[in-house]
């Protein structure tokens, strides 16, 4: 396991300057998005509908590949139990009508009543609403029951790291007391069951991210941002520079950003590193091998991806060579060899410099 226990846990009760020690991943990390990849029911791609996202089955399937963490979303039920689910609402059918129920307003036993049961029955099948308002039956090739955060600690391979995203509704303004209560419920489960498992906390909610850091310093905390790909009322959510501020103010360890935001302004990577913060990315672009290679070359420290198999294998086959080692050196600066043995592509510093200038201009021009 790449992260040793001592790097994942910082000693408790230490003064400020020790807490500001930069957190660094020992090598480029690949994290499985919601386990073995999110479900996208409207996609023609079968891979986006193969294993139920955010399930024990998905987490253990991802653990078979050379990845360091699985990422998943945690919310807390009405009766205080942290569960793993992405959407704010569960869609279900009652007397032929599709209705929505807020996860945080249901008790645990009701949450468990939805979707496939442990005995295989599926009395209350789940539906899902896409961003454009269409409703689909939540059918996947390999289904699995809903689970709690505790279930994950107990049933998932113990060497698999967890990137625990603290999920909140982007449209709700939460009071500090409510946030604290929710985070304390989650921390209770983590403290009881984490043992030696590497753990990272993350959140899009700026106050929640800063609060979880105040409540504990054992595990690194990352601030999630889409870096301006969408604009929110809370300006702290709207750019990479705002994200850097949140991290510095709150003593957070790093940023998880939408890949597009990073590609649009590659010099933000330097600003993040200069602030002694770690930088990883998420988003659909991370399922494209070449885009992941590009981020690797630009200095991003890791990616959250759905295509766990393809991306983890692509990263595993990167070889870095310096000028002296390279027999085929034709006089150009040589940096990285990418790809499988018979398809190695040598990418020079010139190519990286070219791409760094070029890529931001392409993503800008895409919306014409």
Partner 1 sequence: MALRTVLVADVPSLPDSVYGLSEGLDMSKPTSFKMPGFSVIGHRGNGMNVLQSSDRRTRGFKENSILSFNSAAKFPIDFIEFDVQVTKDDFPVIFHDDFIYSQENGIINESRVTDLRLSEFLLYGPQKEAEKIGKTLMRKSKEGQVLKWDVDSDDPLCTLQEAFERVEQSLGFNIELKFDDKIVYEREFLVHVLRTVLQVVFDYAKDRPVIFSSFQPDAAQLVRELQSTYPVYFLTDAGNQMYKDERRNSLEEAIKVCLEGKLQGIVSEVKGVFRNPSAIAKIKESNLSLLTYGKLNNVGEAVYMQYVMGIEGVIVDFVEEISESVTLMMIRPPSPSSPLPSSASKDDVAIARPEFSQKEIDFLLKLLSQLIQH
Q: Catalog residues that contact partner 1 under the rule CB under 8 A.
A: 260, 263, 284-285, 288, 290-291, 293-294, 332, 338, 345-348, 350-351, 353-355, 357-359, 361-363, 365-366, 368
Q: How far is the CB of 336 from partner 1 (least distance, A)?
A: 11
Name which of 118 and 343 has its Cβ closer to partner 1.
Answer: 343
- Give the nearer residue to partner 1 in terms of CB position, either 96 or 358: 358
Q: Which of 70, 338 has the CB closer to partner 1?
A: 338
Q: How many angstroms separate the Cα of 319 from the Cα of each of 153, 316, 345?
A: 34, 8, 10
Min separation Cβ 328 and partner 1, Å: 10
Only one residue has tokens 């940023």, namely: 255
**CA–CA distance, 240 with 189 (Å, rounded to integer):** 31
**Residue 21 vs 319, nearer CB to partner 1:** 319
Our CB check for partner 1 shows the closer of 246 and 292 to be 292
Tell the smallest beta-carbon distance from residue 82 to partner 1 (Å).
34
- Residues 281 and 288: their CA atoms lie apart, in Å, by 13
Distance of CA 219 to the CA centre of its chain: 16
CB of 140 to partner 1, least distance (A): 24
Shortest gap between Cβ of 308 and partner 1 (angstroms)?
19
Q: Which residues, 6+ apart, have CB-to-CB distance to 277 below 8 Å? A: 22, 244, 247, 248, 252, 253, 254, 255
Answer yes or no: are the C-beta atoms of 60 and 32 closer than 8 Å.
no
CB of 257 to partner 1, least distance (A): 15
Using the minimum distance from each CB to partner 1, give the nearer residue, 3 or 298: 298
Give one DSSP letter per residue of 185-248, joined into a string.
HHHHHHHHH-TT--EEEEES-HHHHHHHHHH--SS-EEEEE-TTSS--SSGGGS-HHHHHHHHH
Q: Tell me the C-alpha distance between 71 and 190, whole Å.
A: 15
């Amino acid at each position: 396991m790449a992260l040793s226990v001592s790097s994942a846990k910082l000693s408790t009760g230490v003064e400020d300057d020790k807490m500001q020690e930069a957190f660094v991943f020992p090598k480029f990390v690949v994290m499985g998005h919601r386990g073995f990849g999110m479900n996208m029911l409207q996609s023609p791609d079968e891979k986006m509908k193969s294993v139920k996202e955010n399930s024990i089955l998905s987490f253990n399937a991802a653990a078979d590949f050379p990845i360091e963490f699985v990422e998943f979303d945690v919310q807390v039920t009405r009766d205080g139990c942290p569960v793993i689910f992405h959407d704010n609402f569960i869609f279900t059918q009652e007397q032929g009508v599709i209705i929505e129920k807020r996860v945080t307003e249901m008790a645990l036993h009701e949450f468990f009543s939805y979707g496939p049961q442990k005995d295989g029955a599926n009395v209350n099948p789940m539906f899902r609403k896409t961003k454009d308002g269409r409703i689909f039956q939540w059918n996947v090739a390999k289904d699995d029951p809903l689970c709690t955060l505790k279930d994950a600690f107990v049933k998932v391979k113990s060497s698999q790291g967890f990137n625990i995203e603290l999920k909140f509704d982007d449209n709700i303004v939460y009071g500090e007391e409510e946030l604290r209560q929710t985070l304390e419920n989650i921390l209770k489960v983590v403290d009881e069951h984490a043992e030696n498992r590497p753990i990272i906390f993350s959140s899009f909610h700026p106050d929640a991210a800063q609060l979880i850091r105040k409540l504990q310093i054992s595990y690194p905390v990352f601030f999630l941002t889409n870096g301006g790909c969408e604009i929110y009322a809370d300006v702290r959510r709207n750019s990479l520079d705002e994200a850097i501020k949140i991290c510095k103010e709150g003593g957070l360890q790093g940023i998880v950003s939408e890949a597009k935001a990073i590609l649009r302004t590659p010099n933000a990577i330097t600003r993040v590193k200069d602030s002694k913060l770690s930088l990883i990315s998420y988003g659909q672009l991370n399922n494209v091998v070449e885009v992941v290679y590009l981020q690797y070359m630009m200095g991003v420290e890791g990616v959250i991806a759905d295509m766990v198999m393809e991306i983890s294998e692509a990263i595993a086959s990167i070889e870095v060579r310096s000028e002296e080692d390279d027999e085929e050196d034709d006089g150009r600066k040589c940096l990285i060899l990418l790809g499988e043995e018979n398809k190695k592509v040598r990418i020079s510093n010139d190519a990286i410099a070219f791409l760094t200038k070029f890529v931001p201009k392409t993503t800008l021009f895409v919306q014409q």
